[in-house]
Every structure is written in C-alpha cells, then in structure tokens.
Structure 1
Amino acid sequence: MTEILLIRHGETAWNAVRRLQGHLDIPLNAEGTRQAKALAWALQNEKLDAIISSDLQRAMQTAGEIARLQGLSTRLDPALRERCFGGFEGELYSEIPHKFPEAYAIWQSRDPDALFPPGERVGESIRQFQTRVIDAILHHARQHQGKKIALVAHGGVLECAYRAAKSLPLNAPRDVTIYNASINRFSFDGEALQLLQWGDIAHLDADAMDEINQSQTKQ
C-alpha cells in the first residue's frame, strides 16, 4: 500500500485575482509563501520517503518548503503540471466568456474531448489531461510501493485524482473545493486510488483560496 499526500501549491498573485494560469509559470505571492511554510511545519513529523513536484515554480516553491524540513530533495515531473488551457491562459476568468463565448460554452459543457482555442500553447482536453495526470500519479505510487510520498501539484491535478478515486465520469460537474496549500490523502493498493482525506487546511490560520468559484464557473 502506498500512501500519497497530494498537495496543491500555495497562493499566487494570479489566484488572488482569478487569472487562469495553466502552464504559465507564476510564482507564489507572499501569502502563498506563508501557506507553504505553514504546510511544511504541519508535515514535519510525518516521515516522507519522497517529494515529487510539478516543474512549475509555484509547485516547486511549495515543495521546497516541505523538502527543507524533511531533509529531502525535490524530484520534478512535468506530467504533474496543471492542465494546459491554450488561448485561455493568462485571461481573467471573468473575461473569458466575453472574449471566447463559443469556446467558453463548450468548456462549461465539460465535453471530455473538447479543445481550447489555440494560444502560445496547444490546450488539452479533459480526457487528455486526466490520462496524463493519473498515469503520472500511479507511476510514482508503484515506484514507491509501501511508502509515503508527497506529490505537489495543482488544482486540476487534485481534481483528476478525486475523480479517479470516486469513479466519477469526466463530464460530471465538480463538487469539491480545492484549496491552496491543502493536504489531500490517498492510498494506492496496486489496483486503484482510494481517497482517505480531502481538503485538510487545518494548518492554515485563514481560509485558503479556491481558485475556481464553483457558483460562477459551474465546472
């Protein structure tokens, strides 16, 4: 049995103003750094065998705080990156429906194979993203069988793991809140992910931010 701590990065300036990041490499802001330090202290008495992070700096910075207190190095895996949103990246969530009305409507329909308008990068469909993320998580779980690992990633990555553990269809609306610097515990028995605990932010002295307001995005 592998125990997996799936952790979302701390807050960024773009999280605070609700600007879509995707693969854009945005660092933690001051609050995000505070959250990452609080997270690291909360985990300091848990013996982690490995810390693996997305290679985007907001995740790397969060993982680095944990690694310092654990006496470990951080391994990077680009497969743990956030979903690529193509031409939506860099836009405020509030602006997307006006700039891309047709593409926004398709996004909100949660068509598993729908793609985003092209931008600096080519976006991923829900199905492509889910496959990438779950393959990466299970790869690391199998590599560390019988151990406890921390995977530091992004809100979309956490959602993929939640859906896999709950056997939810890809087109089902999101029904959970995903907090910055949250600890989400899973296990892997060699066959499937199991969700043990979701959204632990007891280590933060104020509510962490949910990047996507469900009532507005209806994802």
Structure 2
Amino acid sequence: MNGAGSGRGRRVVLWRHGQTAWNLERRFQGTTDIELTEEGHAQARRSARLLAALQPDAIIASDLRRAAVTAGELASITQLDVEHDPGLRETYAGSWQGLTHEEIVERYGEQYAAWKRGEPVRRGGGELETEVAERAAPVVERAVDKLPDGGTLVVVSHGGTIRTTIGRFLGLEPHSWEALGGLSNCSWSVLGEGARGWRLLEHNAGTLPEPVLGDDD
C-alpha cells in the first residue's frame, strides 16, 4: 500500500458508526447486526455535517445497519450514492459475539490476554485480524483507485476493521496494530497520500473527545 502512482494527494477518511445499545453495554457486536440508538443517530447527523465540509468524492460502507445508516446521513447531505460492501464488516468473533467485556475476560481469559499481547488469535473461533485486513483493505484500495487526484473517500465501518485497515495501509506489522488505539463512536481517522506512501494525518478525530465504547464492533 505505498500510494505510488499518478494519483497524488488523495485522502481516505475512515469513519466509525454511531452508538448502539451494545456499545453502551460494552457488548462485543462483531458481525451481529445491531441498530443505532437515538444518540447514535444524532452523532451520525452531527458528524456528517462536519465531514460534508471535506467535499468527499465517494462513500463506501459496511452493509451492517449501524454503518449503513451512519453513511446514509452523509449521503443525504452530499447527494452521493453509498456503495455497501460486506468486506467492510466488523471482525467475526464467533462465541465472543453478544458477550460483555467482563464475560469475555471471565470465560476466555487466556485467549483475551494473548490477543492483547498482539498474538494472532481467532477470538471466539472467528477471524484473525490479518484476515479482516485482507478482506477490508482491498475494498478501500479499489475505491481509492477510482478517485481523482486530490480526491477524498469516506469509508464507514467499524472500530476493529478500521484499525486493521489503517495498519495495512501504513505497512505496520500486525502485532503493532493495537498501538493505533480505538475510535469513539462517529469519530474518524484520515489517511493522506504522499510521495512515500500513506500517512496517518488524524486519528480518532471529532468535535470533542468522547470515551471509546466497545472498540472492536
């Protein structure tokens, strides 16, 4: 992902979906299709007004409702169509899905600790983080390839998927992806294309700092 080629100066805005009830409960969502809360809808509307000022050229989104509805708020302002792609879904986490953070630590303590150490772990028997990157990053790459020079792409996805995609674009080793930290609901990160590849220009940006709830979902 070296960003080399004729299309200099493109930007990728990776925007996490709005709040859900499971985020508030610190319950691992994964690929479970959970709706936004009223506050989640409000977050999406507020953030969409800010992101519209970047004059995006294209919007792509996970097809899970929490991301698709968030993307729809930006689409309604910009009059852009949203391309939905299941490759942008959150990490599938098998038996972890639906459990609270505390329940995961209690039932899968060794697996959780190994994951936090940066070891490749199939959480709950699900996907490896590298597998998430392998399905999500190419979706973003294909959309970037369609941008004009200096163009901006907005990607509406999930905390874990966004982190792995950023890691892949920056060429970071998978064990260090956790160092990127989490995204608050409806906050975003920005990748910019330069002469030597992609750079992280902003991370977990938004209007005001908010707590990170249920990062990998």
Assess if the C-alpha contact under 8 Å between 2:163 and 2:180 holds in 1: no
Matched, 1:156 2:166: no
Q: Which residue of 2 aligns with 1:183?
A: 188
Is the partner of 1:28 in helix, strand or coil?
A: coil
Higher relative contact order (CA closer than 8 Å, sequence separation 6+): 2
Question: Any gaps of 5 or more consecutive residues in structure 1?
Answer: none
Match of 1:128 in 2: 131
Runs of 4+ in 1 over 6 A off after TM superposition: none
Deviations 1:88-144 (A, max 9, x none): 0110011112222343333333222x32334xxxx1012211222222222211122
Summarize the alignment of residues 16-165 of structure 1 with structure 2, pairs less than 5 Å apart: 16-112=24-120, 114-118=121-125, 123-146=126-149, 147-165=151-169
Q: Could you say which residue in structure 2 is the equivalent of 1:199? A: 204
**Residues 42-100 of structure 1, C-alpha deviations (whole Å, 9 max, x = no match):** 12333221111000100001000000000112110111111111110110011112222
Q: Are residues 117 and 44 of structure 1, via their aligned partners in 2, closer, same or farther at CA, if it must alter by over 3 Å?
A: closer
Q: Partners in 1 of 2:33 and 2:159 — Cα distance?
A: 15
The change in CA–CA distance for 1:191 and 1:27 in structure 2 (over 3 A counts) is: farther
Q: Which runs of 5+ in 2 are unaligned?
A: 1-7
Whole-Å Cα distance in 2 between the matches of residues 134 and 73 of structure 1? 20
Question: Does the CA contact (< 8 Å) of 2:61 and 2:83 recur in 1?
Answer: yes
For residues 116 and 188 of structure 2, what CA distance do their matches in structure 1 show? 27
Residue 150 of structure 1 and its aligned partner are, at CA, apart by 0.7
- Between the aligned partners of 1:190 and 1:136, the Cα distance in structure 2 is 22
2:216 corresponds to 1:211: no
**Using the alignment, how far apart are the partners of 1:212 and 1:169 within structure 2?**
23
Identity among equivalent pairs (%)? 31
TM-score by length of 2: 0.85
Shift of 1:175: 4.5
Q: CA deviation at 1:212?
A: 4.5
Q: SS where residue 67 of structure 2 aligns?
A: helix
Evaluate the alpha carbon distance shift between residue 182 and residue 50 of structure 1 in structure 2; reply closer, same or farther with a 3 A threshold: same
**RMSD over aligned Cα, in angstroms?**
2.2
Whole-angstrom distance in 2 between the partners of 1:198 and 1:97: 27
CA-CA distance at 1:20 after TM superposition: 0.2
CA distance in 1, matches of 2:17, 2:103: 24
Give the CA deviation at 1:158.
2.1
Deviations 1:136-172 (A, max 9, x none): 2222111224221111011112212332354432112
Native 8 Å contact 1:52 1:75 kept in 2: yes
